[in-house]
Structure 1
Amino acid sequence: MSQPKRKSVYKVDFAKEFQGIKKGKEDYHAHCIPCKDEINLAAMGKTAIKQHQEKPKHKENAKAVATTRYFTASKGVQVRLLDMESLPGEDSTMVANFIIQVLGKHQLQFENLVSFCADNAPVNFGGPQLAGPNNVFKKLQEKKKNLIPVGCSAHILHNAAQKAADRVPVDIEAIVFKLASYFKGSTRRHEDFKDICNFLEVNYETIPSHGPTRWLTLGKVIDRVLKLWDPLTTLFTSKDKSPRILEEFFSSDESLPVLQFLHSVLAVFEKPLLLLQEFYTTVIEYIDKWFRVEFLPTNISWIMLSKKSVDYYDIVEMAG
């Protein structure tokens, strides 16, 4: 009797080999970011990714875009779209060749290229350590040794806030997503909540949505939840068959201090993130604004935070 065939699983190198691919929900799934599709690798391994990237849907969704950012004395920083093309395979070699071809097409000298700017995907830079030869930056660097890698600073700052938030006792993103799921598409639930707000004399407002890659939305959602804290607590602690995660969250004495703490700290990140998303800001302006007093928090002792170990509850007390 033959043994069952072993299932192929996702490998970290797939993200370096294929643009827009990350680990899926299961070990034997890959996730296509442009298409928002799960790709089953169990039977064919990475061949399934190649086949997916040949589909018309993926070719329509996955387009390589080349822009140039330059400076002139008369107009300052300028950004121009050079080209946009569908790259079915989207591996690092294809993307690097696309950039080289686009520069040549517009008669832009490669030796004048100062930096390569892209998101922080492994296929672009090979990870935080710029490791390995199979990424776009390394392939471009073969043509110009002093090329400067520029990843997405806003994404890095977002990750810093997110990783720090993961250390608090409550998974706030799970709560936020569950809240959105509870109210989504239910007029009856909105009306019930509106009645509670009216009874408690609190202005009814909807809770904005939050996406894990939308850097400024979590703070806005927390701000709204704090404004509606009493009505939400009444709703989920008095209603039969409330989602357990929400009932436990709004019943806990720890939840409100955690929210207030995160609300205070996330505000520290908001101004730098908005600055990093400005279109025409130069590096010099970034540095100048970054170190201004207006970006430094006034409610946290940085002397204390400089210690190697700071207790969470000490920070809550300072943030309060």
Structure 2
Amino acid sequence: EWVCLRLEKGEDPDIDNLLANLSPEEMQELENELDEREPDPNIPVGLRQRNQTEKQPTKCYNRGAMLDYCERETKKMIQRELSVEVRSFSGEWMGFEVHQWALRSDLHLSRVSSICSLHSLSDMQANDVANAKPSVSKAESATEAKGKEEEEEAAPSIFDEPLEKVRANDPEMTELNVNNSDVINNDTLIRFAEALRDNTHVKIFALANTRADDHVAIAIAATLRTNKTLVSVNLDSNHLTAKGIIALVRALQDNTTLTELRFHNQRHICGGKTEMEMAKILKENFTLLKLGYHFELAGPRMTMTNILSRNMDKQRQKRLQDTSPSIPQTL
């Protein structure tokens, strides 16, 4: 304080004499103040704080000893929290708690291993019980197999009558709808497709969600090449792949009557290559007005939109020509 007063008055104190007259306590206090104002930049930020205690450390800091101590304390904490409950075969629960402070190391390890083995054994038994299936007698299994065979044999008989009508070219049957049928199989669908080749009255063939595969698609493609009556085919929600879809699209090159084709939501993804090939093939078709498929690629999607718009314009122009009265020519 005396130094500060002399500095305020403009006097130039003798620093050496002042430092010489300071006591050891005052010198230590001055050093602490200087350390706080100008910290050593070579010291990490977390270690620059001035020591607040006057007690001298008994030993130097030992990092290895500290890590060993932390590891021992962590093991003790885990072992104290270790408590395993095991269900006995009689259905009662037995609790085991391991206390490190009450047992020697060898005894403790043996006890823990025995508990873990019992716990694993109980888990294995529980899994066996959960995975166990009720035993079925031979008579019951034979009855179930016989019932399935009878159901499979009865399924085709349900479609015998409509199949005969299609084959006989019944004029009253203009729509063949087997959507969402649980009992129809691919063989029956193929027979329907083959029967439609020479049919001249059925205009709509709907077989959505019937588990139809590529064999059915190929059979329908062969039908589209010869049939001149079908205007709509619905194959949504089936098991077609790129092979079956391309076969259907190629068949439209020889078909001039089909206006709607749907094969959306198939189990397998077509892919970009298939979509581009579809758009390329359908450029040669001028009668398709509706295509039930969601294109993933923007290029084929725009191409297909332009193709359908072109076909609609052609159909509109054709209707206008058919409905407009003929103008007589004058000489």
User: TM-score, normalised to structure 2's length?
Assistant: 0.19
From the two aligned structures, give the one with the greater strand fraction.
1
The higher relative CO (CA closer than 8 Å, separation ≥ 6) is in: 1
User: Could you say which structure has the higher helix fraction?
Assistant: 2
